[in-house]
Structure 1
Amino acid sequence: MSASTQRKDFSLDGLFGVKGLDVVITGAGTGIGLYMAKGFAVNGAITHIVGRRQAKLEEAKETILQLNPNAQVVIHAADISSRSEVDALAKSLKKIDVLINCAGIVLPDPPCTHLTPLPELQKALLASPPETWSQTFSVNVESVFYLSVSVLHLLAAAPDGGRMINVSSIGSTMSDPNTHQPAYQASKAAVNHLTRLLASKFREHGVRVNAISPGYFPSQMQNPNNPNGMLARSQELVPLKRGGEEEDAAGTALWLASRAGSYVDGQVIPLSGGRDWGY
């Protein structure tokens, strides 16, 4: 039977179903990674949560099991900025349908804006330590590359094709002069291009690669209790007048990982309530 005459399944399970898929999510102990893990686990995926801190992963698993006591959640404690730990993690995995590279860090830099007088501006920017740049790129970019390549054979073996989702940031494309995270924003811009590079290299092996570019979500980077933070100011800054919610992150990842998103490849999907163009 040709593809054009095959019976189509337009049900929610047929389009958005992820039941039985093995989904590996880094940075899944907290924040956006945890939101995505909830979405996959509650909907029947075998959800592998990866993070540095065993205790946080245990808490995350308990949170998911409270939502669905039958959820299948597997913990992998690993520091993905370490090549040896990436190698060990890759060797421990036997099957992957979906890889989500969500782990990331942002390190503080001296504040400055376009209104900062020239001597102070130059001093503030040069005060960004070399370690900030090396550590930020190690976690946010290099780990994505090495883990993705290390598990490529598993993704290529996925029955319906492997799927990879990288988590970027609207900071990768915005150039708001009031922000002061040059290393972080540059690293996320690198993630965007790395996504396209990997998509071009992996396509012949049946692996789709996309990225999600989130705006302001409750996380360790965006403390909802900080009255001066971007998340608290979402109603003012975001065209849709709110910050991101758990379901927003989970829903976008489910779409890209399921049949519904199977014709999307090499793309960076803004998930920002319009903030990426609306400032």
Structure 2
Amino acid sequence: MTDQTKDFSLTGLFGVKDLDVVITGAGTGIGFYMAKGFAVNGAVTHIVGRRKEKLEEAKAAILELHQDARVQIHAADISSRSEVNALASSLSKVDVLINCAGIVLPDDPCTHLSALPELQKALLSSPPETWSNTFSVNVESVFYLSASLLHLLAAAPNGGRIINVSSIGSIMSDPNTHQPAYQASKAAVNHLTRLLASKFRNCGITVNAISPGYFPSQMQNPDNPKSMLARAKDLVPLKRGGEEEDAAGTAIWLASRAGSYVDGQIISLSGGREWA
């Protein structure tokens, strides 16, 4: 292709029209923001989640924005391999997979200032289910769904894309947080992203992760004055929390021609919080 025939227009570089995009955890939060961005811009948007009613609410909200949006609902628990198998069997075309579903199960609060007996008691109070359930949803589902859709992603005409959603909690070690299973699981997502990128490089599939900071979601309640999101103006160098367009725009970039040369990367989406 010569320079004269290359398409440097916005639709050429960032266009996602007619792409089939599968987004887990799309009923609420960051997954929902991404679903809105793709659907409004012409993608066939497959929204996946455990709660059908939340997916129906999300679809209705998207159709209010754009009445011609193509949104398909898939109620599935992606921590269940049988339900992932059923989901994969129901799909015939996938250009982009966004693994956004995640859970956080906080443990008893403790910090570096806690007396040793209280610190140890708080840490040991974490039930085994916290760790197994967190890793099942946040890590294993990413691996198994990506592998289950591998043949469809490899058949994508312009190359398949996998976008995993991590967290700044994957690299930050703030002693005031009490989510060790969640933070460890997101660190695992970062490395799994690089592992899958290396595994899939001959299949025409890129694999990257977005590492969000403080966005409105079920995990971040802006009405709680102690939440990280409510304190974002004090914590984040850009003096604000993340907004819907920030999440949608970054995902669209990675899914479009503009992001086609990015592979095996963890993209920070935190307003600079990681380094300040």
TM-score class, shorter: over 0.9
Structure 1 Cα separation of the partners of residues 106 and 173 of structure 2: 18
- Residues 1:82 and 2:80 are matched in the alignment: yes
Aligned to 2:111: 113
Aligned to 2:90: 92
Aligned to 1:40: 38
Aligned to 2:148: 150
Aligned to 1:271: 269
Structure 2 Cα separation of the partners of residues 245 and 226 of structure 1: 17
Aligned to 1:58: 56
The AA in structure 2 aligned to 1:127 is: S
Structure 2 Cα separation of the partners of residues 70 and 5 of structure 1: 34
Deviations 1:219-261 (A, max 9, x none): 0000111111100000000010000000000000000000111
- Residues 1:256 and 2:254 are matched in the alignment: yes
Relative to the length of structure 1, the TM-score reads: 0.98
Structure 2 Cα separation of the partners of residues 161 and 139 of structure 1: 26
Report deviation, 1:207: 0.3
Equivalent residues in 2 for 1:1-279, closer than 5 Å:
3-4=1-2, 7-278=5-276
Change (3 A) 1:5 1:240: closer
The AA in structure 2 aligned to 1:97 is: D
Structure 2 Cα separation of the partners of residues 265 and 53 of structure 1: 32
Structure 2 Cα separation of the partners of residues 63 and 227 of structure 1: 28
Structure 2 Cα separation of the partners of residues 174 and 81 of structure 1: 26
Structure 2 Cα separation of the partners of residues 33 and 117 of structure 1: 39
Structure 1 Cα separation of the partners of residues 108 and 165 of structure 2: 25
Report deviation, 1:269: 0.3
Structure 2 Cα separation of the partners of residues 185 and 108 of structure 1: 10
Report deviation, 1:178: 1.0
| SS of structure 2 residue aligned to 1:63 | helix
Segment of structure 1 superposing worse, 113-122 or 248-257:
113-122
Structure 1 Cα separation of the partners of residues 119 and 89 of structure 2: 47
Aligned alpha-carbon RMSD (Å): 0.8
Report deviation, 1:6: 6.0
| SS of structure 1 residue aligned to 2:240 | coil
Structure 2 Cα separation of the partners of residues 277 and 5 of structure 1: 39
Structure 1 Cα separation of the partners of residues 267 and 184 of structure 2: 18
Structure 2 Cα separation of the partners of residues 116 and 273 of structure 1: 30
How many residues were matched structurally? Answer: 276
Structure 1 Cα separation of the partners of residues 267 and 226 of structure 2: 27
Stretches of 4+ aligned residues off by more than 4 angstroms: none
Unaligned runs of 5+ in 2: none
The AA in structure 2 aligned to 1:182 is: P
Structure 1 Cα separation of the partners of residues 80 and 152 of structure 2: 20
Deviations 1:120-156 (A, max 9, x none): 1111111111100000000000000000000000000
Report deviation, 1:119: 1.1
